[in-house]
Structure 1
Amino acid sequence: MSGLSSLSCLSRQLALYRPGSWSAYSVIFKQLKGLRRCSTIPVAQNLQETVNAQISGNEYEISFKEATFDNAFLRDVCSCRKCVDTSTQQKRFSTGEIPLDVHPKSAVQANENKEYEITWTAQGSEDHVSVYSQERIEQLASPLWRYNNRWRFTRDTMLWDAKTLKENLVSRSYNDYMKEDEAFKDVVLGLYSTGLAFITGAPTTECTSDLEIVVENIARKIGYIKETFYGTSWDVITLPDAKNIAYTSENLPLHMDLLYYESPPGVQLLHCIANSAEGGESVYADSFHVAYKLLEVDPISFYTLTTFPITFHYRNDGYHYVCTRPLIELDNFYTNPTPEHVPVRIKCVNYSPPFQAPFEHFVTKSETAEDHVEFRTFIRAFKAFESILYNTSELFETRFKPGDVALFMNRRVLHSRREFRLPPATDRDNNDGNFGRWLKGTYLDIDSFYSKLRQLSGL
């Protein structure tokens, strides 16, 4: 069966399932992913199928009542003082140092403290003693624990259209955000949940003092600022001969920033210092919501957008940045979904038409394109994504007032700006710095944001 005919068959198969049946989508999506490869690596069976009634060990694995573990895996997670430094909590050895023939020297039994003490032995290596608590064994066996340890916070993510966001949008005052722990926590958790949050009433001067820029102060309360070729912060104003469409009064379409970076910013902040322009409304959309909708109605297009290479670039004003990535990136290490969580986990979305580079010629040739996805197949998938994205019910629109600060997840929430007109008094040729529309922006790395989020959530 050819790739495309197989996909058509799977598409018809999907139609038999009711909308919203994520377990069905998971099964089919795994089949879709299987079509990508000439050969596949077998995956482990359900752990519960390998549970033994008694603890037992052999040359390759140890079976507890909770699960069966590879010997090398258990040896690698040893946290004794020889393996993990008690002060730095960093590993003292490399996984590559573990002998492949490592195995228990004797039968594994629980002691009076419900701990399992294992003496590991291997040919040509010194014996090593590891101790595992019952709680640790249960954690290692639990897909939900692994998910929680990495992703589960006090408030989980919420997919939204405009109506849902209006009902759940988090907005707190600048003074409360800077001084009150609960208000600060609300903004950070709200930003994670919907990808967008607001602060109101921030000072409408660029600096709170001679050295402190307001939007940078707000950002640093969360984590370290990500400096780019724009600096630690930048001004969004109308400029003559602008090097970026953001610095014009033209309509700025939905996009994400700096996708031509190997590691684009995770969070963007925009602080409105002045706004007397006519028009210029800000528009936001949840790309994750759009992508999951596409998965429901057109899984073939969804799959195409996870594999087809799109190149983004910035080549202007002495800079030349280039990076290639698919429109939808999946977290391929997210496995063993629970009923609470979508089996297909989106890691990020990459959508920025103004900064797309010309496609490489090879992508138009089905015999050489990755996964044999033709360019026209990609265009059809891209159109399907945009047809959902630009549905007016998906778009949340608002207007910046002086003192407003928008915080949004740059790899999830798309942002745009309507065309605007400045009053004559703020014409760039004669203005005194009191710009008609002046935003100040900065970025955060996603890692510093997640670090703060985990800390606030007690992880």
Structure 2
Amino acid sequence: MSRLSSFSCVSRQLAFYRPGSWSTCNVIFNQLKDLRPYSTVPATFENALLRDACSCSKCVDTSTQQKRFSTGQIPLDVHPKWAVQVNKNEEYEITWTAQESEDHVSVYSQELIEQLASPLRRYNNRWRFVRDTKLWDAETLKENLVSRSYDDYMKDDEAFKDVVLGLYSSGLAFIERAPTTESTSDLEIVVENIARKIGYIKETFYGSSWDVISLPDAKNIAYTSENLPLHMDLLYYESPPGVQLLHCIANSAEGGESVYADSFHVAYKLLEVDPISFYTLTKFPITFHYRNDGYHYMCTRPLIELDNFYMNPTPEHPPVRIKCVNYSPPFQAPFEHFVTQSETAENHAEFRTFLRAFKAFEGILYNKSELFETRFKPGDVALFMNRRVLHSRREFRLPPATDADNTDGNYGRWLKGTYLDIDSFHSKLRQLSGL
């Protein structure tokens, strides 16, 4: 017995076929206008898959919107008992039957059937905002960079939406004129308030927020006055932060300019000029670690991660879609693959292939045209996508009147930072995008 239910997206007609036994359920309805508007687009489902999509009150709790059953409870022989019906709300009703269970009635909207039938519709229902991604170099970023005042961001819905959408689109956005009178003991920390307007804060071993100041015997290069090269934060975590926020409280230092680069733009340029290097960087493992001050974190991942769930090319998306980039030389551990003398010559060659690819990536990344440079003013807040936008800081020198380990809050260069999980950011992004 076949266990397929077929929906052909052609017209508003409805049909159900019974070739000798209950084997196939064909429902014919409006074609998918966003897929191929002038052609027949048949869609065939496993009966069990379609039964699993039922959202009636017996299957999905009306309050929590959570499923009341497990997919494993669906009988393998589930099939339509009789012809599919169209109710007064223009919805499709299917009565399911099976040897080991009672009959069950499911109701499906045309919108749901189209979503199940169309990969593009499913994609748009969750990731429509992806098409708004704008790759950039230093010059093109100036045309798309979003910056709003703190008061507007906190009080005006449109300004808030501009910042969130701009942050996703370019991977970088700014807030200006935020309060700068806080101290480390304040209960209300401005950068945390800014972050919580988007979603919940990702607490790390640095706490819910932290101070970026120059300290003696620092446990992290960020807490020195040295040049901090381009990097991403906490890649030694299994789930690194998705968004980072940095709020400038004070800055009288000489130097210390902030530098940003779009790693996606760099990676796509590498794909265009050197595809072998690009694909090498999607496979070769790099271990990142933090082993200091009583902590030992590590995680291994490739430099470029591809999105394997939405690989079909469309007019809006390239055939290859990058999910994230992992680049943080200050926190790289020694390589653990293909490096010992006992390894084969072939594996040594593989490491050299990776090294060549890594150099090719950096050759594009450190081109001056890729680097957007700016200087923090007190009250400035930078928000950036931690798995896309690389950030760095030039070396700086504190004024003679300030002390690196000042304890009264009068630091020459003082930033406060916090993180957001990518999931909470995407949730807010979907809500603002009407998904």
Q: Same fold (TM over 0.5)?
A: yes
Structure 1 distance, partners of 2:220, 2:61, is: 49
Q: Which residue of 1 aligns with 2:38?
A: none
Change (3 A) 1:411 1:59: farther
Aligned match for 2:301, one of 325, 331, 334: 325
Q: Secondary structure at the residue paired with 1:257?
A: coil
Superposed, which structure 2 residues align to 1:249-264 within 5 Å?
249-264=225-240
Alpha-carbon distance change, 130 to 267 in structure 1, aligned in 2, over 3 angstroms: same
Look up the match of 1:351. 327
Native 8 Å contact 2:77 2:98 kept in 1:
yes
Distance 1:421 1:247, change over 3 A: same
Partner of 1:314: 290
- In the TM superposition, residue 50 of structure 1 has moved relative to its aligned partner by 12
Bigger CA drift: 402-411 or 322-331?
Answer: 322-331
Q: Would you say 1:280 and 2:263 are equivalent positions?
A: no
> Do the aligned residues in 2 keep the contact of 1:157 with 1:193 (CA within 8 Å)?
yes
* Secondary structure at the counterpart of residue 273 of structure 1: strand
Task: Give the CA deviation at 1:139.
Answer: 2.0
Q: Work out whether residues 266 and 444 of structure 1, in 8 Å CA contact, stay in contact via their aligned partners in 2.
A: yes
1:296 aligns with 2:272: yes
Deviation at 1:105, TM superposition (A): 2.1
State which of 426, 441, 446 in structure 1 corresponds to 2:402.
426
| Correspondent of 2:140 among 164, 170, 173 | 164
Shift of the alpha carbon at 1:154?
9.5
Is the Cα contact below 8 Å between 2:214 and 2:405 reproduced in 1?
no
User: Residues 357 and 201 from structure 1, CA distance in 2 versus in 1: closer, same or farther, beyond 3 angstroms?
Assistant: same
SS at match of 2:129: coil
Task: Please tell me whether the aligned partners of residues 338 and 350 of structure 2 are also in contact (alpha carbons under 8 angstroms).
Answer: no
Instruction: Tell me the amino acid that sits aligned with residue 236 of structure 2.
Output: Y
Three-state SS of the structure 2 residue aligned to 1:415 is: strand
1:441 and 2:426 matched: no
Instruction: Say whether the 8 Å CA contact 2:147–2:163 is kept in structure 1.
Output: yes
Please state whether the residue corresponding to 1:89 is helix, strand or coil.
coil
- Kept in 2, the 8 Å contact 1:56–1:64? The answer is no
1:397-436 matches, within 5 Å, as: 397-428=373-404, 432-436=408-412
Evaluate the alpha carbon distance shift between residue 381 and residue 184 of structure 1 in structure 2; reply closer, same or farther with a 3 A threshold: same
Question: What are the residue-to-residue correspondences of 1:184-263 with 2, within 5 Å?
Answer: 184-206=160-182, 210-263=186-239
Does the CA-based 8 Å contact 1:280-1:417 persist in structure 2?
A: yes
1:197/1:407 contact within 8 Å kept: yes
Q: Which residue of 2 aligns with 1:127?
A: 103
Q: Distance in 1 between matches of 2:8 and 2:360?
A: 40
**8 Å CA contact 2:305, 2:323 repeated in 1:** yes
- SS of the residue 1:414 aligns to: strand
Matches within 5 A, 1:2-401: 55-56=16-17, 62-65=25-28, 66-111=42-87, 113-153=89-129, 156-206=132-182, 210-362=186-338, 365=343, 374-401=350-377
Per-residue CA distance 1:158-201 (angstroms, 9 max, x = gap): 11111111111000111111111111111111101111000011
CA displacement, residues 12-60 of structure 1 (integer Å, 9 cap, x when unaligned)? xxxxxxxxxxxxxxxxxxxxxxxxxxxxxxxxxxx98999995547877
Rounded to whole Å, the distance in 2 between the matches of 1:82 and 1:147 is 27
Distance in 1, Cα, partners of 2:211 & 2:144: 29
Tell me how many residue pairs correspond in the alignment: 411
Provide the TM-score with structure 2 as the length reference. 0.88
Structure 1, unmatched stretches of 5+, are: 1-46
**3-state SS of the aligned residue for 1:259?**
coil
Which sections of structure 2, spanning at least 5 residues, go unmatched? 1-6, 29-41
One-letter identity of the residue aligned with 1:449: F
Distance in 1 separating the partners of 2:224 and 2:230: 15
Question: How far 1:64 moved relative to its partner?
Answer: 3.9
- 8 Å contact from structure 1 (residues 59, 101) kept in 2: no
User: SS where residue 149 of structure 1 aligns?
Assistant: helix
Q: Is the 8 A contact 2:338 2:351 kept in 1?
A: no
Residues 50 and 67 of structure 1 are in contact (CA less than 8 Å); yes or no, is this contact kept in structure 2? no
Decide whether aligned partners of structure 1 residues 438 and 136 sit closer, same or farther in structure 2, where only a CA change above 3 A counts: same
Aligned CA distance change for structure 1 residues 448 and 60 (closer, same or farther; 3 Å): farther
Structure 1 contact 62–70 (Cα < 8 Å) conserved: no
Scaled by the length of structure 1, the TM-score of the pair is: 0.83
